[in-house]
Amino acid sequence: MSLKDQITEDMKNAMRAKDSERLGTIRLLLAAAKQKEVDERVVLDDVAMVAIVDKLIKQRKDSVAAFELAKRQDLADKEAAEIKVLEAYLPQRLSAEEVSTEVKQIVADLSAELGRAVAQGDMGKVMGAVKTRLAGKADMALVSAAVKAALAS
């Protein structure tokens, strides 16, 4: 069963259970997926669905920070609850050590390919390679920090 089908089934279950918070979050996710399908005229696969879930989680985290800064804990709690629902659709994430190991390997491969040591100016090339290999498997903020650390050493 594809991720999109699983999300649709979860929406039906939330309707049956009259779980309005979960239902609202799942509907937002499906609406974002449908919007992407219509805009790009494609059928989304699991990788694209994970990217949408990642994007929505990042938006919710930014909102939580803004609401807490504005001392609106009620709204921050609502966004945090949505994050919990959305995180259920993400695959198992790599740990910080695993991300660091992968980034070091990618930097070594890129250095061999370029025939020279990778420098700070090559961050775009490294991030491009990292995104293709770790898309959906790791938090990109963690990946970015690992790339900066690898390029600094």
Task: For the chain of 153 residues, list the mean pLDDT of each consecutive stretch of 10.
Answer: 93 96 96 96 90 93 96 96 94 85 87 80 83 81 85 78
Fold of the domain built from segment(s) 96-152: Arc Repressor Mutant, subunit A (1.10.10)
* pLDDT at res. 130: 85
**pTM for the full predicted model:** 0.77
* pLDDT at res. 74: 95
Give the ranges where 41-95 is alpha helix by DSSP (H). Answer: 46-69, 73-87
Q: CATH topology of 3-87 equal to that of 96-152?
A: no
Task: Locate the domains of the chain by residue range.
Answer: 3-87, 96-152
Q: Is 85:25 a contact under the CB 8 Å cutoff?
A: yes
* pLDDT at res. 30: 96
From the list 98, 85, 6, the residue with the least C-alpha distance to 53 is 85
Q: Is 41 exposed, middle or buried (0-12, 13-18, 19+ CB in 10 A)?
A: exposed
CATH (one of 1.10.1510.10, 3.40.50.1820, 1.10.3720.10, 3.20.20.100) for 3-87 = 1.10.1510.10
Interhelix angle 46-69/3-17, nearest 10 degrees: 50
CA 117 to chain centre: 30
